[in-house]
Amino acid sequence: MSNRLAETRSPYLRAHAENPVDWYPWGPEAFAEAQRRDVPLLISIGYSTCHWCHVMARESFADAATAEHMNRDFVSVKVDREEHPDVDGAYLSAASAFTQSLGWPLTVFATPAGRAFYAGTYFPPAARGGVPAFGDVLTAVTEAWTERRGEVLASSDAVADALRDAATRTPSPLPDAEALRAAAATILDREDRVFGGFGGAPKFPMATTLRFLQHPLIGGDEAVRRALTAMSGSELRDPDGGFFRYATGRDWTVPHYERMLTDNAQLMQVALDAGREDIVRGIADFLLRVLRRGDGAFGAAQDSESWIDGERSEGGFYRRDVAERASLEPPAVDGKVLTGWNGLAIGALSRAGAVLGEQEWVDAAAAAASVVLAINRGPRGELVRSSLDGVAARAVATASDLGLLADGLFALALAAGDADWATIALNVLSDEAAPDPVLAAHDIPTGADESDGDLPSGTAAVASAHLTAWWLGAGEAHRKRAEQMVAGLVVRALQQPLAFGALLRVVSGLHEPPRQIVAVASDRRGALASAALDADADVIAVVSPSQARAFSDAGFALFDEKDAADGVVYDCLAFTCRLPVSEPVAVRRERGAAG
């Protein structure tokens, strides 16, 4: 049997390399083989820190009899959802036609052309709880393919057509402040006033929602602080400062123990804006101590499982106190370096490092940025989705990758006072994300889901970066581009605000004129710089006169004519600035009209 997974750049795929299943990685070879043999594709999607993915692998994919059935009647494809989010999104959308219980592992049966005709999530080896046995599912799908082919093809075509129709967008005018506050009120109505956060069990941190509620236009800060207090004092937060993915209990008990870079980087920014320095420092320590790789970039996540006393234990390591852990092998970290996810970490560490005076964090952000920009490159120099052990993977960069990385680089530029990072951010933002080549080649619809789940959607991420570019003075075209991008989703966002927090934050930013503070101060640790960094503003830059000149020369008009004096602060509202002040007490912390 050909072992095709061992040399991939995904730890998740490599973990399945020794299965008796004749796995293919995602790519044209699997489709060609399914067409040659005239058998369905069995597409199994998961990720390396997914507990139930581990369980199904042990129960079914490591079983010789099950593997024989899969090898005989299917071409089996193993997909890392973190490496191929567009593929995951396409098949999640298709799977919603067959099951309401979406999640991972995602098991999809598709025609040789890749069109889904049946799907589910975890299937046990023996039927239980109303869920059929995996072997019985394989048998039923094989019979349907061989005996009722016409029905199968009609079903797959109907799903594809429905997804294409759902992807249609009609641009709408941006909502006014009243509509945005009404959307926020819908979210706040779902606040759990007993245990904090939003919704019931299972309960997620919902960082994208929290960030929307923190926008000055919205004024949901108290609910955010209540959520942070509840989460940080619960089992969702490990004693070492890192947060788990979600809790299975409404009261934040019994966590799902994997720890994601995405959740922690975003919660770090939420905590920073909420004034919870203790939470910020705990997350920073987790990122730098646990997820940071040897080259300086950040791995995707830490696993929920580890070896304890010769057996795999889900959460056992985390249930020990910190002193006991010293003698245990910690759960593995997925060392895959994802472009956009690192962008989130770069931005969080940069902003927090600047505000809290932690130069080490800013330096760590710069190191991660250097690695991503150097390593996560394709054969033509284009950014790609990920790398592993210093070698780039083939998966294309998504719109989310480009937007999140660009926004992170803008934050790094401000924290470091280095215009070069901002210029690189503009270059990243000028790229266009290419569609997944296999999806495109087979005309597989990607669905219409542009909601913000555990991280901002591609639309929200890119629009946010364009908004930041406009705030820095890179040109009115960036504001217009952000408006154009969100216009097709605002109606859905207002109807389902819990699912569109990142996009609604961008819309709120477009509605309100930005407050921009430029402190021209060579002493970045002095009282004047500290006063500026403590202000409530959309943009805060602390630069020396020469650095201000470099930003201006690079095309960032916010810094124009601000290099004449050292030791002054400019307080601006949409590029209209008050007279500069030189005393820390004269720097207003609150927002207000410039004049």
Q: What is the pLDDT of residue 295?
A: 96
Q: Angle at CA 164, nearest 5°, toward 163 and 165?
A: 90
Closest CA to 197 of 159, 233, 144: 233
CA angle 209, 258, 212 (to 5 degrees): 10
- Dihedral angle over CA of 190, 191, 197, 200, nearest 10: -50
Q: Are 550 and 556 in contact (CB under 8 A)?
A: no
Residue 392's nearest CA partner among 339, 316, 347 is: 339
Q: Do 559 and 518 meet the contact criterion of CB atoms below 8 Å apart? A: yes
Residue 449 CA: distances (Å) to CA of 85, 260, 283: 12, 22, 30
* Tens digit of each residue's pLDDT, the chain (595 residues): 457 999 999 999 999 999 999 999 999 999 999 999 999 999 999 999 999 999 999 999 999 999 999 999 999 999 999 999 999 999 999 999 888 888 999 999 999 999 999 999 999 999 988 899 999 999 999 999 999 999 999 999 998 988 888 777 789 999 999 999 999 999 999 999 999 999 899 999 999 999 999 999 999 999 999 999 999 999 999 999 999 999 999 999 999 999 999 999 999 999 999 999 999 999 999 999 999 999 999 999 999 999 999 999 999 999 998 889 999 999 999 999 999 999 999 999 999 999 999 999 999 999 999 999 999 999 999 999 999 999 999 999 999 999 999 999 999 999 999 999 999 999 999 999 999 999 999 999 886 678 998 899 999 999 999 999 999 999 999 999 999 999 999 999 999 999 999 999 999 999 999 999 999 999 999 999 999 999 999 999 999 999 999 999 999 999 999 999 999 999 999 999 999 999 999 999 998 754 4
Question: CA 12 → CA 25, 80, 204, distances in Å?
Answer: 11, 6, 24
Cα–Cα nearest to 21, from 29, 13, 9: 13
SS3 444: coil
Type of residue found at 291: L
Burial bucket for residue 165 (CB in 10 Å: 0-12, 13-18, 19+): exposed
Amino acid at 90: A
Distance CA 444, CA 483 (A): 28
Strands (E), 81-211: 106-110, 116-120
Least Cα distance to 540 among 365, 414, 358, 359 occurs for 414
What count of other Cβ atoms lies within 10 Å of the Cβ of residue 161? 11
Residue 164 has a pLDDT of 85
